[in-house]
C-alpha cells in the first residue's frame, strides 16, 4: 500500500499563494459590490461591504448615462485590428530573426529588443507630432497603426518558438520546392499556434485596458474607448463612483472571458517558449 508523503514546503507555498490571491481579489470584490450600492454607502467608515439595499439600476444607468455602447464598439474593432496586425507582423519578423541568416542579424535583434526598455512616455511627443503632421489626431488610426507595427515582446516570444522547430522540417520543404513564404505560412505558422494564441491574448488584454494613448490622441467622446469613457464619470467637482464601478464591472467581462478561455494557451505559450529557447 502506497503512502502519500506530505511536503511541508509545498503546503506552505500553496498557503502563501492562496493568501496572495485573496489579497489581489479584494479590489475586484470591492468594485463589484460598490457597483450595487448607492453613493452614500461607498465611503462609509467603517466600510460596509454588503450593499443594503442592492441598487441594480446602477448597471443600466452606467450604460445610458454615457455612450458606452459606442465605446464598446470602438474598443472591440480597434482590438481586433491590432491583434490580427500584430500576429502577422510579429510572426513574420520572428521567422526572419530565427530562420533566415542575414548580415548583422543578432545585433539588429538586440537593438530591436532594446526598444522594450524605452517607456512610451519618452516617445509620445515625437509620435504626437507625427500624427499631427499626418492628420490623424482625434482618429483611431493614431492608436491602431503604431500599435500594429511594433511589438518587441511579441517578436521575441514567437522567435523562441521558431527556434525550437527542427531545421530538418524547413529543409524538407525546400527540397519539395517550397519558397520562404510557403514555408512560413504552411509549415511554420501551424506549429506555433500556442504562441500565436498567447500573443493574441496578451495583445487583446493590453489594448483593451489601454488608457494613455487614447487620452493623448482622442478628443471626441464618440470615438472614445472603454477606459476613456469610464474616465468621464470623474467630474471637476464630484465623481459618480457607483456608476463608475458599475461601468468598470461591465468593462471587465470581456477581459475575464478572454482570460478564462485562453488561460491554457497563455501558460502553454510562455512555458514552451522558455523551454525551447
Q: So what's the pLDDT on residue 270? A: 58
Please say whether the beta carbons of 97 and 159 come within 8 A: yes
- HSE-CB for 246 with a 13 A CA cutoff: 25
- What pLDDT score was predicted for residue 3? 59
- pLDDT attached to residue 20: 92
Residue 40 phi, psi dihedral angles, 5° rounding: -70, -15
Separation of alpha carbons 233 and 200, rounded Å:
30
In the chain (277 residues long), the average pLDDT of successive 10-residue segments reads 69 90 88 85 80 84 83 91 92 90 88 86 90 91 87 88 84 83 86 85 88 90 89 73 86 83 67 48
Answer yes or no: are the C-beta atoms of 212 and 143 closer than 8 Å: no
Q: Where are the domains of the chain?
A: 59-276
**Given this structure, which CATH class describes domain 59-276?**
mainly alpha
Amino acid at each position: 500500500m502506497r503512502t502519500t508523503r506530505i511536503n511541508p514546503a509545498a503546503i506552505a507555498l500553496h498557503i502563501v499563494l492562496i493568501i496572495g490571491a485573496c489579497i489581489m481579489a479584494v479590489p475586484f470584490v470591492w468594485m463589484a459590490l460598490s457597483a450595487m450600492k448607492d453613493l452614500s454607502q461607498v465611503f462609509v467608515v467603517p466600510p460596509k461591504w454588503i450593499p443594503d439595499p442592492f441598487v441594480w439600476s446602477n448597471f443600466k444607468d452606467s450604460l445610458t448615462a454615457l455612450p458606452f455602447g459606442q465605446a464598446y464598439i470602438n474598443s472591440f474593432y480597434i482590438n481586433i485590428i491590432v491583434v490580427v496586425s500584430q500576429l502577422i507582423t510579429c510572426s513574420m519578423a520572428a521567422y526572419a530573426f530565427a530562420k533566415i541568416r542575414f548580415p548583422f542579424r543578432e545585433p539588429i535583434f538586440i537593438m530591436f529588443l532594446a526598444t522594450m526598455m524605452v517607456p512610451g512616455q519618452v516617445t509620445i511627443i515625437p509620435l504626437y507630432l507625427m500624427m499631427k503632421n499626418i492628420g490623424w489626431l482625434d482618429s483611431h488610426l493614431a492608436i491602431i497603426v503604431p500599435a500594429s507595427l511594433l511589438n518587441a515582446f511579441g517578436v521575441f516570444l514567437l522567435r523562441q518558438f521558431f527556434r525550437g522547430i527542427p531545421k530538418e522540417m524547413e529543409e524538407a520543404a525546400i527540397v519539395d520546392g517550397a519558397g520562404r513564404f510557403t514555408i512560413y505560412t504552411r509549415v511554420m505558422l501551424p506549429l506555433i499556434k500556442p504562441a500565436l494564441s498567447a500573443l493574441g491574448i496578451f495583445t487583446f488584454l493590453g489594448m483593451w485596458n489601454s488608457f494613455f494613448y487614447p487620452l493623448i490622441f482622442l478628443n471626441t467622446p464618440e470615438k472614445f474607448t472603454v477606459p476613456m469613457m469610464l474616465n468621464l464619470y470623474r467630474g471637476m467637482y464630484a465623481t459618480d463612483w457607483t456608476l463608475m464601478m458599475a461601468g468598470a464591472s461591465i468593462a471587465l467581462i470581456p477581459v475575464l472571458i478572454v482570460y478564462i478561455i485562453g488561460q491554457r494557451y497563455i501558460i502553454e505559450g510562455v512555458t514552451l517558449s522558455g523551454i525551447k529557447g
